């Protein structure tokens, strides 16, 4: 969403891909990541940027999911958290895809069985 909001190269295709899904989910950590990136770039956040999202708000620690992530490959904490949240809800959604522009995060998500278009 940062690439889309900052209109980075290739972001139109990313936006189209994201909006092609009926349900768009994310850990609410995305809100802080977007706010930090926009503050760094000294750009106002478009209030509609995150509107399409439904937030994943786990009500328990994701210890088991994080262990699966780190057993698969090393990621920074925020990247691991997003995949752990996806693992947490994966059973509730058929064919849950994981979208990211980060190649390391994409590789780990794919190894864990997520489609990564």
pTM: 0.91
Of 104, 68, 102, 107, whose CA–CA distance to 88 is shortest?
A: 68
Q: How many domains does the chain have?
A: 1
Return the minimum-mean-pLDDT range out of 2-6, 26-30, 64-68: 2-6
Residue 89 lies in a domain: yes
Residue 116 lies in a domain: no
Residue bearing the bigger pLDDT, 31 or 14: 31
Which DSSP symbol is given to 45?
P
43-81 residue pLDDT tens: 999 889 999 999 999 999 999 999 999 999 999 999 999
Q: Is the pLDDT of residue 10 over 90?
A: no
Domain of 92? 2-111
- Note the pLDDT of residue 40: 96
3-state secondary structure (DSSP) of residue 44: coil
Residue 104 lies in a domain: yes
């Amino acid at each position: 969403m940062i690439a889309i909001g900052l209109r980075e190269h290739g972001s139109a295709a990313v936006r189209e891909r994201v909006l092609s899904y009926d349900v768009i989910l994310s850990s609410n950590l995305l809100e802080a990541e977007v706010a930090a990136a926009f503050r760094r770039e000294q750009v106002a956040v478009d209030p509609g940027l995150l509107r399409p999202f439904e937030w994943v708000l786990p009500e328990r620690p994701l210890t088991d999911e994080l262990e699966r992530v780190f057993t698969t490959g090393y990621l920074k904490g925020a990247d691991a958290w997003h995949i752990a949240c996806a693992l947490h809800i994966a059973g509730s959604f058929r064919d849950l895809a994981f979208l990211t522009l980060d190649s390391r995060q994409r590789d780990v998500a794919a190894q864990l069985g997520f489609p990564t278009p």
